[in-house]
Structure 1
């Protein structure tokens, strides 16, 4: 029996889904959404809050403020409610409506910026508002998930060792790239281990993280319009960029098998299948990290009217009518996802 007194004390960290029967390729999916925050972001949030409390930056009367597309915002809202802090989340129109309402239900104040930045996203605009709030009142504490080493540090001590314990013969790990905290933590952990494990970053087409040209993106979670300060490409072996229609295809394919995952998970799985189609074989032991579950995406990724509005009738018809797309039965390399192969050179930040 598990008994807890605060929500952040619970997290299921040893659940994996064998996707072989769904995608016709050996791939294990580490599910990080079974906690009271509903995503892998609970680990980073806990790490950053704990260090801020130890250092004295965060104390009674402080007001947490953070920029988030959703999942970290929910995680911080859970922790803030548990520990008695006020929390202000700065987000943008791509934040899922359910996520927005969850943060408010937990007592957070949610501010939405609607002016795109120079790259066509909202991240720079969100950060500018956070900085103005911090400057206006000394009670505001910005953990800054984009540059805080405790973001990736949480995964060095948790996610990395968890995966290694479950799969001691691991060959390749696929991790989505948002702030790159999860990616950098896992990559740094396996880089220091004696066994060679390839760490492949999965990013969204249109994200600037790995030097691509910025284009509009509709699915929150992965990808950025400002290069993350945490990123050190010398730890990353390969990068796969996934187009959003392929994310949607995988999300709906998994849902038709009873697995309702979030948009970030769909992207990571699509990227993993593309990479394995080119580089893997029947002996490859591969794990992909699923950051979240899908209930927060029912008004977007899983809603036919939203799909038609943003991606057109063809995508909506193929993804939303409950009939498996014929491509799901074809060899998986047929997914037309561009791959950037490494290793990549390190770049100064």
Structure 2
């Protein structure tokens, strides 16, 4: 019986969903949302805060500040509340209302940026605000999840080894790309494993992480409006992009089977299933990482009016069910520029 005194001490690490009965392709989904922050971000948040404490950067008077589209903000809110730190989360108007309310319930001050930067989009505007606050008050401690090596080290030490324990014959791993902390930590770990594992990064259309064309992105989580400083493409075998409409279709298909996942998970699963649908998957062991659960997306991904306003009336029609067959005119597409090894 686990007994904890700190909310960041618990994280369900060994839960997988077999998605083959739903999508007819072999894929195991590693569920990372069963902790008190509700997402995979609790691991890097804990690692970054504790590293700052060990370095003497954090003091009782310190005020944590971080830019986040949602999940990292919630994770840091949980940790700050537990440790007694003040926390300012700088987000933007795409952040789900339920996520903002959750952070505020935990005692976090939330600042919402409403205008994008001309050059850096909403992310650039958020970072500019963080820099101004830090310049004005030396009590502010910016962990900078976008550049902090402890972001990827959390997954190097925990996420990747946990997958390897249960899947010693892993062939391909699908990882969503946001700050690329999860991607880089897992990719680095598996690069030195006893067998080659193909690392497939899953990004969203409109993100420039792998050099794609910038465009509208309405779902928080994956994707960046700048190249992530943590990204080293030499560790990535392939990068694919997923349309947000296909993310929504995949989330609804999972929900129709009782699995309510978040937008980031929908993107990863959509890209993974499309990738698998184009290959001979006999004897192939594939795992995808699910960063989040779906409760925080009830007013967006799972809200019919929101979907119709942004993506049209036919997004969820029967003939557009996700991955009914290979479709190269929509869905995921390969992004050039990553190192490649021969695929399985």
User: Which residue does the alignment assign to 1:252?
Assistant: 252
User: Which residue does the alignment assign to 2:82?
Assistant: 82
Distance 1:172 1:342, change over 3 A: farther
| Unpaired segments ≥5 residues, structure 1 | 319-323
1:344 to 326, 339, 343: 339
Q: Describe the SS at the equivalent of 2:48.
A: helix
Q: TM-score, normalised by structure 2?
A: 0.95
How far apart are the structure 1 equivalents of 2:131 and 2:35?
30
Do the aligned partners of 1:119 and 1:225 also contact (CA within 8 Å) in 2?
no
How far apart are the structure 1 equivalents of 2:71 and 2:322?
29
Do the aligned partners of 2:65 and 2:130 also contact (CA within 8 Å) in 1?
yes
Distance 1:279 1:342, change over 3 A: farther
How far apart are the structure 2 equivalents of 1:291 and 1:280?
27
Q: Describe the SS at the equivalent of 1:314.
A: coil
How far apart are the structure 2 equivalents of 1:162 and 1:197?
15
After superposing on structure 2, the runs of 4+ consecutive aligned residues of structure 1 that deviate more than 4 Å are: 332-335
Q: TM-score, normalised by structure 1?
A: 0.94
Corresponding position: 1:199 with 2:193: no
How far apart are the structure 2 equivalents of 1:342 and 1:161?
27
Number of paired residues?
Answer: 339
Q: CA deviation at 1:311?
A: 1.1
Q: Describe the SS at the equivalent of 1:344.
A: coil
How far apart are the structure 2 equivalents of 1:124 and 1:327?
35
Q: CA deviation at 1:118?
A: 3.0
Q: CA deviation at 1:336?
A: 3.3
Per-residue CA distance 1:114-156 (angstroms, 9 max, x = gap): 1112357300000000011111101000000000000000000
Superposed CA RMSD: 1.5
Q: Structure 2 matches for 1:1-349, cutoff 5 A?
A: 1-118=1-118, 121-315=121-315, 317-318=316-317, 325=319, 327-328=321-322, 330-332=324-326, 336-340=331-335, 343-344=338-339
How far apart are the structure 1 equivalents of 2:273 and 2:264?
14
Q: CA deviation at 1:279?
A: 3.2
Q: CA deviation at 1:338?
A: 1.3
Q: CA deviation at 1:236?
A: 0.3
User: Which residue does the alignment assign to 1:321?
Assistant: none
Deviates most, 34-43 or 272-281: 272-281
How far apart are the structure 2 equivalents of 1:143 and 1:304?
37
How far apart are the structure 2 equivalents of 1:336 and 1:132?
39
Do the aligned partners of 1:120 and 1:216 also contact (CA within 8 Å) in 2?
no
